[in-house]
Amino acid sequence: MPDLAKIHDIVKVYEKTPTPLIYILKDVQKEFGALTEPVLSEVARITQMPLSEIYGVATFYSLFTTQPKGKHVVRCCNNAPCHVRNSKEVLQKIKEYLQLEIGGTTADGLFTLEFTSCLGLCAVAPVMMVDNEVYGNLTPEKAVAILKDYKLKGSSNA
Amino acid sequence: MNKVTLTIDGRSVTVPEGTTVLDAAERINITIPRLCHHPDLNPVSACRICVVEVKGDRLLRTACSWKVQEGMEVSTNSKVVRDSRKMAMELLLSRHPMRCTECVRNGSCELRACADQLGIREISFEYHQRQGGLDTSSPSIVRDPSKCILCRRCVQTCAMVQSVSALGMEGRGYEVWVDTPFAQGMADVPCVACGQCIDRCPVAALYENSHIDRVWRALDDPNLHVVVQTAPAVRVAVGEEFGLPAGALVTDKLVAGLRRLGFDKVFDTDFTADLTIMEEGHELLSRIKNGGKLPMLTSCSPGWINFIEHFFPTLLPHVSSCKSPQQMFGALAKTYYAEKHGIDPKALYVVSVMPCTAKKWESGRPEMTSSGFQDVDAVLTTRELATMMKQVGIDLPNLPEEEYDAPLGISTGAAVIFGATGGVMEAALRTVYEVVTKKPLENVDITAVRGLEGVREAEVDLDGVKVRAAVANGLANARKLMDKIVAGEADYHFIEIMACPGGCIGGGGQPIPTSAEIRKKRAEAIYKADRGLKIRKSHENPAIQQLYKEYLGEPNSHRAHELLHTHYTAK
């Protein structure tokens, strides 16, 4: 069970911020990994905002998540410029390597696979993000090599 | 206020500054098609059906939210406008299941009417079902997200009108949907079951949990003695379902119709409304005399009870312990009436016809079994009753006039006004005045507490004793009064709260549509019904007097407490 008391401290930080919800949710997600039901219910209780409204914001922004994700989030661009530069095959290879569909998380909890909209890096399309790192000029092989590196690092940490 | 002159389709019109294009067009008899717009709510411009062309603007504008400007030239019927509306409608229809013949809103669907208005004859897009499954968790309200057209009326109603926010918009873009947070279901969020969302839903994404089948089963069962009670607000609204104008008072035809449906006895919730006044009036006097919790809050509206249990549990000691008239009726039907007529309460089936969806929830509350059985077995909304009558060809407007059965059908003008906001207050004051002063009340029309404003206050002089009263309708207004009590700023003796705007006449179980104008007409009919009755004070109801003499003893007696009073639970 997460320590919900921390939410109180987070809300307090933004006491004087005019529309603090997004900042609160960002910090709360960082603390708890995901905006789950007990976590958001506590945010609602403390901020005295309706849970439905908070949940609406949490599900609107793709960088918020209501479900726990893997250690690394892999986001593949699915917009047109990447598409014409073969992003489809890159994605296919990633799916095969991770044994995942979009939205899924690997059994070892290491990777979650998602789509992202345009990252503004069309000059180096196709692109993907892993956590906060951006990787461009991908080929299917290059993409898998990058993920292998993460996997190695992940298991050496463990 | 400054005036603005513009032209709409080449015709000049002058309207006050701040008017929307939609309203300005209405002045010159142009009805711009619209779908998400609702007069009770803020425009959200979600459906894009009301688009118009404004000369000089690159984009089409939504008439429901676009304000007029001096010299503006609007076209409401150009090809680009017509094509755009059609496209918007076809896109909406491409995500609507279109099983119209099996739909509860078959006869009152705004989507269907709007598609017809736009002349839609084919849909260019493939059907793509919306996410979200049927939510039947609530005893009152069913949600079918597959039918939702994302107009946001329910979300706004729940937030703005009722300050409840049980429903919200979730996700975004093509996959946006309306739901309870984390798909908890309507029973597990602070939904108060008022049904105002149903009333404003243009389609059948929200509708009442129907009791029609179980009522037919009871009526078909020769071993059951089936009695029905009708709430005050039903008689001024059910006619609308049969094409009568809003505010048509059809009490006697309603009785005739219920007999034709096969009910063994046709009784009136007004009888127990009178009884509520006796019990609640004496409770108020005793609280004032004995230093009880004040202000006392009324308890007739089950949506309101759900609200205070969810949002202001610390104020529950302020709520009158009186059951609502519906539940008093059920408890008495299965005890007093059953004993008096030698009917086995096991074989007695009590049906309510209510303007309300929360009454369905209320009838299933575990406390509501003081007769030893579930006191009220089934609750029909006004709409469901009309459906049943139509099913068997009962032509309500052309029925003869018949009278309620005795004794549970005998009532007064004080009872019928329960149907409008301020009515319980007025009825209580009529009785409290006479009980306190032992003098007849000369003018029974206590107009200070009437009206449709959200919050009203009045001070009524009871022969020197001043009663400070407040009345609120709509839960956002109730919340204002509760905040005052919490802040220690509510210097009232008695507060009447009705969950729905206008009181029960605007209830979530009433005919669709309900608008401010329709509520006004129904309220007028309620006061007309009051004026038309010989007896207009609850304590003068001879059947009530007899009930106390034969059965209950006196108001707030031990037996009265057992049968007619209840308790509440913080949620």
* Phi, psi (degrees; rounded to nearest 5) at B126: -75, 150
From the candidates B26, B90, B170, B367, give the one annotated as an active-site residue. Answer: B367
Report pLDDT for A1: 63
From the candidates B53, B110, B241, B362, give the one annotated as an active-site residue. Answer: B362
CATH number of B130-208: 3.30.70.20
Among candidate residues B492, B491, B496, B493, the one with its CA nearest the CA of residue B436: B493
Measured CA to CA, the distance from residue B570 to residue B180 in angstroms comes to 21
Measured CA to CA, the distance from residue B469 to residue B459 in angstroms comes to 6
Of the pLDDT bands very low, low, confident and very high (cuts 50, 70, 90), residue B465 is: confident
Question: What is B269-296 written as a DSSP string?
Answer: HHHHHHHHHHHHHHHHHHHHHHT--SSE
Tracing tokens 């309510």 back to the chain, one arrives at B352
Residue B378 pLDDT more than 90?
yes
Q: Which residues of B450-464 are buried (b: 16+ CB within 10 A; e: fewer)?
A: bebebbbebebebee
Among candidate residues B236, B193, B100, B128, the one with its CA nearest the CA of residue B518: B236
* Angstroms from B308 CA to nearest CA on chain A: 16
The token duo for B437 is 């002063």
Domain boundaries, chain A: 5-60, 72-157
The token duo for A3 is 């320590």
* Angstroms from A139 CA to nearest CA on chain B: 30
Residues A73 and A130 sit within 8 Å (Cβ to Cβ): yes
Residues B400 and B383 sit within 8 Å (Cβ to Cβ): no
Q: What percent of chain B has pLDDT over 90?
A: 95
Quick one: CA dihedral B488, B489, B491, B492, positive or negative?
A: negative
Beta bridge partners of B5: B14
Output the average pLDDT for chain B: 96
Quick one: CA dihedral B198, B204, B209, B213, positive or negative?
A: positive
Measured CA to CA, the distance from residue B29 to residue B48 in angstroms comes to 21
Measured CA to CA, the distance from residue B420 to residue B524 in angstroms comes to 9
- Residue B455 to residues B479, B482, B502: CA-CA distances in angstroms? 10, 12, 11
Residues B516 and B523 sit within 8 Å (Cβ to Cβ): no
CATH number of B3-93: 3.10.20.740
Element (H, E) at B356: none
Element (H, E) at B380: strand B378-381
Report pLDDT for B461: 84
| Interacting residues of B99 by C-beta distance below 8 A, sequence separation 6+ | none
Q: pLDDT tens digit string along B536-557? A: 999 999 999 999 999 999 999 9
Report pLDDT for B174: 87
Through-space distance between the first and last CA atoms of chain B, rounded to whole angstroms = 48
Alpha helices in B532-569 (DSSP H): 542-547, 558-564
| Phi-psi category of residue B247: left, alpha or beta, with phi > 0 → left and psi -120 to 50 → alpha | left
Report pLDDT for A157: 52
The token duo for B192 is 């108060």
Report pLDDT for A2: 72
DSSP code, position A73: E
Residue B283: active-site member: yes
Neighbours of B134 (CB within 10 A): 11
Residue A1, Cβ density class (10 Å: 0-12 exposed, 13-18 middle, ≥19 buried): exposed
Average pLDDT over residues B217-243: 98
Residue A156 pLDDT more than 70?
no
From the candidates B148, B356, B504, B538, give the one annotated as an active-site residue. Answer: B504
Contacts of B169 in chain A (CB under 8 A): 56
Contact at CB, B181 and A51, closer than 8 angstroms:
yes
Measured CA to CA, the distance from residue B383 to residue B363 in angstroms comes to 18
Quick one: CA dihedral A98, A100, A102, A103, positive or negative?
A: negative
Among candidate residues B494, B449, B502, the one with its CA nearest the CA of residue B475: B502
Contact at CB, B168 and A52, closer than 8 angstroms:
yes
* Phi, psi (degrees; rounded to nearest 5) at B177: -150, 165
Neighbours of B210 (CB within 10 A): 17
Residue B371: active-site member: no
The DSSP bridge pattern shows strands B265-268 and B225-230 to be parallel
Residues A71 and A110 sit within 8 Å (Cβ to Cβ): yes
Neighbours of B207 (CB within 10 A): 24
Q: pLDDT tens digit string along B84-138? A: 999 999 999 999 999 999 999 999 999 999 999 999 999 999 999 887 889 999 9
CATH number of A72-157: 3.40.30.10
Question: What is B486-511 written as a DSSP string?
Answer: HTT----SEEEEESSTTGGGG-TTSP
Residue B126: active-site member: no
Of the pLDDT bands very low, low, confident and very high (cuts 50, 70, 90), residue A155 is: low
DSSP code, position B15: E
Report pLDDT for A73: 93
Through-space distance between the first and last CA atoms of chain A, rounded to whole angstroms = 22
Alpha helices in B364-451 (DSSP H): 382-391, 413-416, 423-437
Which of B167, B170, B188 to mutate to probe the A interface, most A CBs <10 Å?
B170
Q: pLDDT tens digit string along A9-51? A: 999 999 999 999 999 999 999 999 999 999 999 999 999 999 9
Average pLDDT over residues B338-365: 98
| B397: Cα separation from own chain's centroid | 23
The DSSP bridge pattern shows strands B51-54 and B265-268 to be unpaired
Q: How wide is the angle at C-alpha A143 spanned by C-alphas A137 and A149, nearest 5°? A: 125
| B97: Cα separation from own chain's centroid | 28
Report the length, in residues, of chain A: 158
Contact at CB, A52 and B165, closer than 8 angstroms:
yes
Residue B411: active-site member: no
Residue B300: active-site member: yes
Residue B496: active-site member: no
| Interacting residues of B439 by C-beta distance below 8 A, sequence separation 6+ | B433, B463
- Residue B197 to residues B151, B175, B237, B438, B455: CA-CA distances in angstroms? 12, 22, 18, 45, 21
Element (H, E) at B168: strand B168-170
Residues A28 and A41 sit within 8 Å (Cβ to Cβ): no
Which residue type is seen at B110? E
CATH number of B213-564: 3.40.50.1780
Measured CA to CA, the distance from residue B291 to residue B317 in angstroms comes to 13
Measured CA to CA, the distance from residue B375 to residue B226 in angstroms comes to 13
Residues B177 and B148 sit within 8 Å (Cβ to Cβ): yes
Contact at CB, A52 and B171, closer than 8 angstroms:
no
Of the pLDDT bands very low, low, confident and very high (cuts 50, 70, 90), residue A158 is: very low
Contacts of B171 in chain A (CB under 8 A): 59-60
Q: Which residues of B331-368 are buried (b: 16+ CB within 10 A; e: fewer)?
A: bbbbbbbbeeeebebeebbbbbbbbbbbbbbbbebeeb
From the candidates B147, B359, B360, B521, give the one annotated as an active-site residue. Answer: B359
Q: How wide is the angle at C-alpha B104 spanned by C-alphas B218 and B180, nearest 5°? A: 100
Tracing tokens 């094409």 back to the chain, one arrives at B243
Contact at CB, B189 and A53, closer than 8 angstroms:
no
